[in-house]
Amino acid sequence: MKNVIYQLLELQQLELGITKFEGDTKKEIQRLRNLIPPQVIGHYDRMMAKGKKGVSVVRHKVCTECHMALASGVYAKLVRGDDIVICDTCGRYLIYLPEDQPEPETDQTPVIEAVKSQSKLNSDQKE
């Protein structure tokens, strides 16, 4: 299912002119449309006909099109990538791009040292 959503995002970028394609863009669009299941293309086309993007990237657990936070279960399902996920608010297909997500902070040393020094100051003041 993950491939279908990536193909759908590529299709959207070609149709909106976001991505430049070396060669015949119309042929590439038709090729992608033939790869994607008809039910998915139908929903995507309805969204595009309304003037809305059919696919939305998720960043910081938020749909980037309607700016609504995703429920934790929906987000977990999206990250697993084993099913197609639609935003409960705007109805767009959701895609999770790991490279767009922020890196977790790994260096906790300054925080720990600050807490230790604060604890030491508090204990010294009590004496």
The proportion of the chain whose per-residue pLDDT surpasses 90, expressed as a percent, equals 63
Structure tokens at 81: 């990538």
> What does CATH list as the number for 2-101?
1.10.287.1490
List, in order, residues 6 or more apart from 84 with CB less than 8 Å away. Answer: 1, 4, 5, 40, 93
Output the pTM of the full model.
0.74
- pLDDT band at 101; cut points 50, 70, 90: low
Strand partners of residue 69: 62
Q: Is the pLDDT of residue 91 over 80?
A: yes
Which residue, among 84, 72, 76, 2, has the nearest Cα to 44 in the 3D structure? Answer: 84
Q: What is the dihedral of CA 46, 52, 55, 57, to 10 degrees?
A: -160
